Amino acid sequence: MRKLLFQSLFYRPLTEAAPTPDDAALNELATAVGRAARRRLGRSLSIREVDAGSCNGCELEIHALNNAYYDVERFGLRFVASPRHADVLMVTGPVTKNMREALERTYNATPDPKWVVAIGDCAKDGGCFAGSYAVVGGVSDVVPVDLHIPGCPPTPVAMLKGLLALLERVDKGAVSP
């Protein structure tokens, strides 16, 4: 016990260093997404995450958007518990046969205007799970997809860039709500 106490006094913690409070690039990006959402919707952007059968790697990165480092809620991006409150469905994973109906029902429960963002390589075409007996395919095989963000998994910054690109395309009328 004494040894442990001495170690905790003299060794650095094994955790990652705390981020600098002013990560300018991240702040600028998240602010741009929040501003684009307010311009388009007149309020914050509400996101419902749907795991259609992923390995949870993509979820870890999506959860990071809400952690103390990224903390996207301060920029007006909110994750909501119900599709009825959502503007964007963020869908991860290949769509499994067991989740197909749940994804369809979630899509139908989301009010217009709504956009579907497929997150990760699996969401595009099944990725490394393509061809499995348990998999239907990519997200676009089940519901219409407005944007795909590649990566295995994509980083939180890639997701923010994707959301910004989506909102800018909506603003220019390239994607209809």
The helix/strand/coil state of 41 is helix
CB 125 within 8 A of CB 95: no
Which is closer to ligand SF4, CB of 36 or CB of 143?
143
Tell which one of 120, 137, 138, 162 touches ligand SF4 (CB under 6 A): 120
For 92, phi then psi, to 5°, come to: -115, 160
Using CB under 6 A, which residues numbered 47 to 76 contact ligand SF4? 54-55, 57-58
- Sequence letter at residue 160: L
CA distance 61 to 23: 18
The helix/strand/coil state of 116 is strand
Tell which one of 34, 93, 138, 156 touches ligand SF4 (CB under 6 A): 93
Q: Taking CB under 6 A as the rule, does residue 122 contact ligand SF4? A: yes
Using CB under 6 A, which residues numbered 124 to 143 contact ligand SF4? 127-128
Structure tokens of 76? 């007006």
Q: Taking CB under 6 A as the rule, does residue 36 contact ligand SF4? A: no
Residues that bind ligand SF4 in the complex, under the rule CB under 6 A: 54-55, 57-58, 92-93, 120-122, 127-128, 152-153
